[in-house]
Each structure stands twice: as C-alpha cells, then as structure tokens.
Amino acid sequence: MFPVLLEKTTYLDDFPINIRIAKVTEYPIHYHLDVDFIYVLKGEIHLKNVCHHYLLKEGDVFTNSGHEIHGLTATDEENVVAIIQVSNRFFTQYFPSLMKACFMTYINNQNRIKMDILQKMLLHILLDYSKRSFNYKSNCIDQMIEVIKYLNEHYNLFAFEDQVVVNFRNDNPVIVERISRIINYVYANHANKITLEDLAEREHLSTYYISHLIRDYIGINFQEFLCFARVEMSEILLLETDRKISAIARDVGFSTTAYYDKFFSKWFGHTPLEHRHLYMPHILSDEKPARYELLSDNQAVSLIRRCLSAVSDQEKSASVINHLHHNVDVNPQMPPVMKIHPVLEVVITPEDYHIMGERLFDLLHDLNASRVILALRQADSKKATALIEDRLSSIGYEVSAVCDNGLCCGSSAGYDAIAAAIQIFRTFFTAKENTLHCRLRDQGEPSRILKGTPSCITSGLVPKPSFYAYRLLQNIKGELLCWGKYYYVIKNGLSEKDSYTLVVINYNDAIQHLSLRNASVYEANDIINSFKDELHVDFRISVASGQYVIAEYALSNANSIFAHMSQLGFPESFPLPEAWFHMLNTEPQAQVSVENVDDELNISSAIKGAGIHIIVVEKVGGLSFIPTSA
C-alpha cells in the first residue's frame, strides 16, 4: 500500500489558521491543499519544494500555495521555524481565486523592502497567537486577510532565475496581469495539448510577441514552461500511486514516456522511476512522522519580539503610535497593598421607577448595589415614594431619601464614553476607598440619547460604559498585591484555590480628565479616536500545578452607545424605531478558556486604544469566582 502524501490540516475552535513555532529536525515530504508559510525565525533549514532545493536562512519566508510536494530538514545550525497554514475553504469567501494563487515569496536579491513589510505582518500574527491576547483569533484572521491582500498585490507570480523559482519582479500592471493569465491557463490545462498559437489567440497577440513575453518575464521559453508544469504536477502521482511511468506521462500531457523522462530529468536531476525509489522512504507517515520540538509560548513571544525589532520599519504614518510594554512578576506571598471590597451606593429617583417599573430592581441587582439613595423632588408623590422605599427595604437594601439638588451637576460627553469607565477604575484604585457612588439613570426625555451626565444608563435605558465599569468592579474582592500606572493585580479573597483578578487600563491624561470638564461630543470623540497607543502587559504568577479557568472581559469604546451615536453623526434622537434602539449591543466582549499550568501562570493582555481589560484566573476545583455576565 502506497503512503498518502496529502497532509490533512485540522483547524481547531473555528480558527482557520494553524500555527506551529518549533525547532525542526525533519519534516518529511508531503503536500496539502491550503496556503502554507514557512518562516525561518532563527538559524537556517533545508527546504525541498517540488524539484528545487533551498537553504532558507533567518528572515526568509517561503510560501507554498498547495499541491506542491515539500519537506524540511535541519542543518547543523539550530533553527526555529514558524509554520503557518491557512484554510483555503475559509479565506476563499474573501478571495475567490485563492485556489488558483501561485504565491512565491522567495527572493534572490537584496531588495527586501516589500519582504520587510510581509515579515512584520506575519510576526504580528505570530505574536498575537503566542500571547493568546484577548480576541486574538479574530485579530489573527483580520491580519491574515491583509496578508493575503498583500500577497495578491506583490507575490502572486513566479519566474525562473538560473532554473530556480523566485518571486516575479515587475511592477507593470499590464505585464503582471498578462503573465498571471498565462500561468493560470497553463497549469489549469497542462494535461491537454496547448500551443503557443492558442495562447496568442487568447491574448490577442502575435506568436512572436507572446513567445518573447514568456521568455523575458518568466525566464524560460513556452515549451520549457509547459513541460515544467507537467513534471511538477506529476510528482504527486509518482509518489502517491504505484501507476506505471508511461500512464503518468500520458495523464499529465506528455506524448511519449521518453519525452517525460527527458524533462523530468532536466528539472529533478534523475528519472521519474529513480525519483520514486529515492523519495518513497521520505514521505510523511505514521512510520516516518515529523520530528520537531514546539517552543513554549514564552519562548515564542521572546523570539518574535526580537525578530520584530530586527525588521526595518517601513511603515509611514503621520501620527506616532506608542507601544508600551510591561512585564509584571507577581509574588503571591507579598504583603497586600490594600483590601478590595467595593460597596456600591446607587442614586435613583421616582422618575426612574415610573419609567422602568420592575426593571429598576433588576438593574440594582445586576449592579450588586449595597445601598440605595432615593433622590426626591418637591413635586414627587409622597405615597409613591413611600412605596418605593418599602419595596427596596423589603429586598434588603439600605435606603435613605435626600433632596435631588445634587443631581444638577456639570455635564461632559466623557460621561457617555469609555472615558467615564476609565475614570471610575482609576479613582477606585488610587483613592483607596471601597465605597463607590453612582447615579443610575440620565433624567429627562428618553428620546434624547446622549445627555453627558454622570449616570450608568441613558434616559432611554441603554447601558453606558460606566454601567459595566461599576458592574465589573463589584465582582472584584480580595487583596491588591501590586499595581502600576496601567495595571492592578488582586488576589481573590473568596477562593480557597489560586485565584486572581488582573486589571489593565490603557489611557492617556486627556482621556482620564475628559469627564472632569465640559467637553462636547465632537471633542470627546476626537480625543478618544486619536488615542491609538498600544499597551501590552505580560503577567507571570507562581501557582500550583493544575488546570485553570481564564475568563477575560474587554471594555472599550467600540461598541458603546457613544460609538453607535458617533456613527450616526450624533443625532438628537435615534433614527430607527425604539425596538431597534434597544437591540444595540453595548456589552463588553468576553471569552473563557481552560489551560493546563505547571508551576507558573503566564497571562498576556494587549489593548489598542482606550480600554479596560479584566482577566479572572481560578484553579479548577476552587470556589467559583467568575463574574456574572457583564
């Protein structure tokens, strides 16, 4: 029974990218149907790809478009290789012609400007994947879409240079399009009889002109290129079946076996039969598996960062984006900075009960309020007020009634945006005061969406970022072990097992102070959108070995009511019926995973632009501490 050359790639968890970063000893020959990147991050490695043999060195990126038999073998120099496979089935929804792509990124010259850009794009995907940053799967998919766009633009053709296949170097769009059509036609019809006259007729050119076009830009003449395509496509039949050489020659388009032998020997250096005997023992199989050692995520992140710093920066931007990075080593035995036990005091009005009815009590429960202040106006019904007080007391809240003159305070559009949530978190941790105080709802006409007042929900009952900030904070209870300007580490106090909450906040001074002054919606929008700094915080915590649940919550401006109204140009009222208004999603993004840990927990957080990232970690078997849905 002949071994199966086809390596089937399994894509896990609806993630259409398969990534391995490893020290490779040997990866026996195989082929697959999907696009495949081989990126040498360190050292060098031998690559067999069809009939060519390459010595890939550090920084080289080789792209295999599928159906090309290839294999890797280590040299005497230590290597680290990133193997990235992308699902053609998934990405053809964005690139319908992906199956016909002939990506070639190997270059034989010193002009590496375009390659530097491709390297950076791939390295960012590898970094996000290795760090398992929040929402890393969708980030990697979005970045891979950009990579394929870039490949289509700059690397979707090949040529021959001294009988070595290299990247096609020509920027003339007419030439590129014409050569692309020729290559695709030859490969699609290689088994048929194709003549130079056929191509000339298809391209509406003379045979003389198209002959010189192929020779000048592909690097070999038409007949040589046709025969190359035929012998390349024959290798799978040769190594995956026991069919006779004459039958394979006929199937790929050669008129005689002798003709097939001649051109196969020209490109492979030996006859088809010799090739079968030489490479059959080197096919990937259960008896001859791939031999490699995967890098740990920490090792991979460190190496990828070194590679990123070594790549020349070709990005041109009018604005400077800062990249901040912090490494935080957490000693669980360190004395705590302070106890964390938030107590939330919520201000409501009789108007809130009139508008919301029973939903008022649901929201107070969601916020985990401890005390309720009933702010009264002179015109409020004493009977209705007494009923509300009695209901709140019967539920178990501490209730007090005050005059509502404290509700008439300054306004700022920052209260409706992520700036308010950032201010809430920063104030709580820096003030070292466990009591939180918030107003539940904007007062006034519900049809006016943004009022810029310091409340948790709009008058139309849509939660603002501040609502989720208070809700998330209320779930944090324990001891603050360490903190910095952008992060806080809390050892959870309600669990008998290793349990931590990590808080990361990305902001600048303009955003932090936005809620403290009378800023318009346009000014607030500009300040928030112009802040594009990237914050990366890597936490390392010594823990007991075992399985850990990791729950992550990301609060940003992206899906806030402020951002939704910004997309509409900040109208006074929502332009669609009320039912659609209440279906707007303003909740934080969330994801949960389970990881096996030896003795050290490594957690990475990455935030682009203004936002808050909360990570809850708990050993399986401990007292549950995952917050209720935020």
3-state secondary structure of 130: helix
pLDDT at 414: 93
Helix axes 418-431, 521-530, angle to 10 degrees: 70
pLDDT for 109: 57
Q: What is the pLDDT of residue 496?
A: 62
Is pLDDT of 318 > 60? no
Give the pLDDT score at 40: 96
How far is residue 145 from each of residues 139, 273, 618, measured CA to CA in Å? 10, 41, 35
* Exposed/middle/buried for residue 252 (C-beta within 10 Å: 0-12, 13-18, 19+): buried
Between the alpha carbon of residue 21 and those of residues 42, 77, 80, 248, 557, the distances in Å are 11, 17, 7, 37, 34
For the cut 70, the answer to whether the pLDDT of residue 166 exceeds it is: no
Cα separation, 558 vs 611, in Å, equals 9
- Phi-psi region for residue 569, left (φ > 0), alpha (ψ -120 to 50) or beta? left
Q: Give yes or no for residue 382 having a pLDDT over 90.
A: no
CA–CA separation, 6 and 12 (whole Å): 19
Is residue 210's pLDDT more than 50?
yes
Q: pLDDT band at 316, cuts 50/70/90?
A: very low
Question: At 484, is the pLDDT very low, low, confident or very high (cuts 50, 70, 90)?
Answer: very high
Burial (CB count <10 Å: 0-12, 13-18, 19+), residue 546: middle
What does the block give as tokens for 205?
């050119």
- Place 374 in a pLDDT band, splitting at 50, 70 and 90: very high
The rounded percent of the chain whose pLDDT value lies above 90 is 51
Please write the tens of the pLDDT for every residue from 448-461.
899 999 999 999 99
Q: Which two tokens stand for residue 113?
A: 């400007």
What does the alpha-carbon distance between residue 208 and residue 429 come to, in Å, rounded to a whole number? 78
440 phi/psi in degrees, rounded to 5: -75, -50
Position with higher pLDDT, 343 vs 627: 343
pLDDT band at 405 (very low <50, low <70, confident <90, very high): low
Give every CB contact of residue 29 below 8 A, 6+ residues apart in sequence: 5, 48, 69, 70, 71, 239, 279, 282, 283, 284
Give the model's pLDDT for residue 620: 87
- The yes-or-no verdict on residue 628 having pLDDT over 50 is no
Domains and their CATH numbers in the chain: 1-169+286-314 (2.60.120.10), 170-279 (1.10.10.60), 329-619 (2.60.40.1500)
pTM exceeding 0.75: no
* For residue 630, pLDDT beyond 60: no
pLDDT at 523: 86
Task: State phi, psi for 522 to the nearest 5 degrees.
Answer: -70, -40
CA nearest to 230, candidates 260, 256, 257: 260
Q: What is the pLDDT of residues 91-142, one digit of tens each?
A: 999 998 888 777 777 766 545 677 888 999 999 999 989 988 778 898 899 9
574/580 Cα distance (integer angstroms): 9
pLDDT digits (tens, 9 = 90+) for 213-236: 888 888 888 999 899 989 988 999
At 165 the pLDDT is 59
Q: Buried b vs exposed e over 143-174: b needs ≥16 C-beta within 10 Å?
A: bbeebbebbeebbbbbbeeeeebbbbeeeeee
pLDDT for res 44: 96
Residue type, 614: I
Secondary structure of residue 399 in the 3-state scheme: strand
For residue 6, the 8-state DSSP code is B
Say what the pLDDT of residue 105 is: 79
More confident residue, 157 or 587: 587
Which pLDDT band holds residue 577 (cuts at 50, 70, 90)? confident
Instruction: Report d(CA 302, CA 291) in Å as an integer.
Output: 23
Whether the predicted pLDDT of 629 surpasses 50: no
The pLDDT-based confidence of 317 (bands split at 50, 70, 90) is: very low
pLDDT tens column, 33-71: 899 999 999 999 999 998 888 899 999 999 988 788 999
Structure tokens at 613: 């990232």
Helix/strand/coil for 21: strand
| Mean local confidence (pLDDT), 517-532 | 88
The pLDDT of residue 346 is 94
**Tell me, what's the pLDDT at 514?**
87
Provide the pLDDT for residue 424: 94
H or E element that contains 534: strand 534-542
Dist. CA 42–CA 258, nearest whole Å:
44
On the question of pLDDT at 407 being above 50, the answer is: no
Distance in angstroms between the alpha carbons of the first and the last residue of the chain: 57
More confident residue, 349 or 173: 349
